[in-house]
Amino acid sequence: MENLHEMQKENDLLKAQLKLKDQRIHSLEELVQYFKNQKFSPTSEKVSVKQLGLFNEAEAVEAEGVVNESTTEEDVLVKAHHRIKKPRISIPDSLPREDIDYDLAESEKFCPHDNTPLTQMGTEDHEQLDIIPAQVKVIRHRRAKYRCGCCNQYHITASKPKQPIEKGIASAGLLAYIATQKYCDELPLYRQSDIFKRSDIHLDRTNLANWMIRCGALVQPLINLLQEHALARPVIHMDETPLQVLSEPGKLAQSKSYMWLVASFSQQPVVLFHYAPTRRRDVVTHLLDEDVSALMVDGHYPIDNNLAENAIRPFTVGRKNWLFSKSQAGAKASANLYSLTETAKANKLNPYDYLRAVFTQLPNAKTVEDIEKCLPWDSTLNGN
C-alpha cells in the first residue's frame, strides 16, 4: 500500500514538472516566432521591443516608491545608508496663474474667546499644475471687396498673406503642431488622426501625410541655406541609418534606403537629414563639397562622433513608431522637417514656435534675404 502511495506522489510530481516544461516550451516558441517576425516579416506591422515598455511605465514608477515632492533636498535615514530626497517638481513662474479663493463664513470671522473680529493675515497657498488639451479654433480670413458706385466697372479685393498651403484648411499653427507631434514627439499620423477625432475633427491620415509632404517641399529653400551654412563650418559631422521606403522605383519594399545626417555643432548649429536610396560614395560627394576641411565619421577619425550619433537618435526613435516611409516624397519631406525640428532644438528654440514662424513667413519670401530671416538665429524671426 505504501508503494502505491509513493508511486502516486511521484506521478503527481512528474506531471507538475511536465506542465512546467510545456509552459516553458510554449514561451520559447512564442519568443522564437517574435524574433522570426522581426527579422523576416515583409509587413510594416513589426513591433518594436521598446514599444512593449509603454504598458509598464506606471508600474515601474510605483515599484520605485512614492514620488517625493519636498521643496528642498534633505538627508533621509534609510536602513544601512543615507539617501538624498529628490527636490520637488517645480512649476515655472512664467506660467499664468488662476486663483481659487477660499474664505471663512461671515459667522466664523470672530474670535471664539472674546468675540473680537478677526483680521486677515494673508493666505496659505498650494499650487497645482493643470493643463487644457489642445484648443482648436477657426481662423476666418475676410478680404474686403470694393467697387465703384458710379461706373460699377472697377472692383478690388484686399490682399492677404500667402498661406503655407493655399486654399487649404490647415493654418501655419496646425501644420506646425502636426509636424512637431510627428517629428519631435514621435507621434504617428494615424494616432494624431484619432486624437483629433476626440474633438470631433475628422482629419484623415492621408490628409495629414499630404500636408507634411507639402510642408517638406515648402521649406526646401530654407534647407538649402542651412546646408550652405553647415558646409562653411570648419568641422562637419556625418552619420547614416537605414530607412525602409515602400514605393521606390526598381526596388523591393523590403529594400534598405538611408537617412543621412550632415551636421555642424559650432556656433549657430545646423542638423540636416537627407534621404538617399543608397549609401554609395556618390551620396557623400553630393552632400559635401571640396571646401570641407574636417569630416567626422564613425571609425574614420580619432575624435568621437557622439554629437552626430545623438543628433540622429530622434529619427531612429521615431522610426520605431512609424516604421517606414510610403514614398520617396514622404521620405524627403520627413528629412526636411526632421532637419528643422532638430536644428531648432540645437539652437535652444521651441520647435513648434519655430515651425509656426517658418510656415507663416516662408510662403511670403521673395528674395534670399527674406529666406535668411527664417534662419533659427535671425533676431527678427517670430519664433525668437
Q: How many CA atoms lie within 13 A of 161 on its CB side?
A: 12
Looking at residue 112, its pLDDT comes to 94
Looking at residue 350, its pLDDT comes to 95
Strand stretches in 236-372, DSSP E: 236-247, 256-264, 270-276, 295-296, 325-327
Looking at residue 263, its pLDDT comes to 87
Looking at residue 72, its pLDDT comes to 45
Looking at residue 368, its pLDDT comes to 94
User: pLDDT, tens digit, for every residue of 328-381?
Assistant: 788 889 899 999 999 999 999 999 999 999 999 999 999 999 999 999 999 888
Rounded Cα distance between 44 and 317, Å, is 16
How many angstroms separate the most distant Cα atoms in the chain?
123
Looking at residue 28, its pLDDT comes to 76
Instruction: Residue 307: name the closest of 271, 275, 357, 274 by CA.
Output: 271
Residue 77: strand pairing partners: 82
For every residue of 127-148, DSSP letters joined together read ------------------EEE-
What is the dihedral angle through the alpha carbons of 333, 285, 261, 348, rounded to the nearest 10 degrees?
Answer: -90
Instruction: Residue 92: name the closest of 144, 41, 129 by CA.
Output: 129
Radius of gyration of the chain (CA): 30
User: pLDDT, tens digit, for every residue of 223-239?
Assistant: 999 999 988 887 888 88
* Cα angle 208-136-319, degrees, rounded to a multiple of 5: 35
The DSSP secondary-structure symbol of 116 reads P
Looking at residue 53, its pLDDT comes to 46
Dihedral sign for Cα 104, 105, 109, 115, please: negative
pTM score above 0.75: no
Q: Is the Cβ–Cβ distance between 241 and 308 less than 8 Å? A: no
Q: Which three cell numbers stand for residue 316?
A: 531612429
Tell me which residue has cell 466697372. Answer: 153
For every residue of 48-105, DSSP letters joined together read PGGGGGGGSHHHHHHHH-PPP--SS--EEEETTEEEEPPPPPP--TTS----------
| 377: number of Cβ within 10 Å | 15
At position 167, the amino acid (one-letter code) is K
Rounded Cα distance between 175 and 299, Å, is 39
Rounded Cα distance between 281 and 58, Å, is 47
In the chain (384 residues long), the average pLDDT of successive 10-residue segments reads 76 82 74 65 49 46 49 50 64 91 95 94 92 88 94 93 94 96 91 91 92 95 93 82 69 72 88 83 71 58 59 58 60 92 95 97 95 93 64
86 burial via Cβ count (<10 Å: 0-12, 13-18, 19+): exposed
Q: How many CA atoms lie within 13 A of 182 on its CB side?
A: 31
Q: What are phi and psi of 336, to 5 degrees?
A: -65, -40
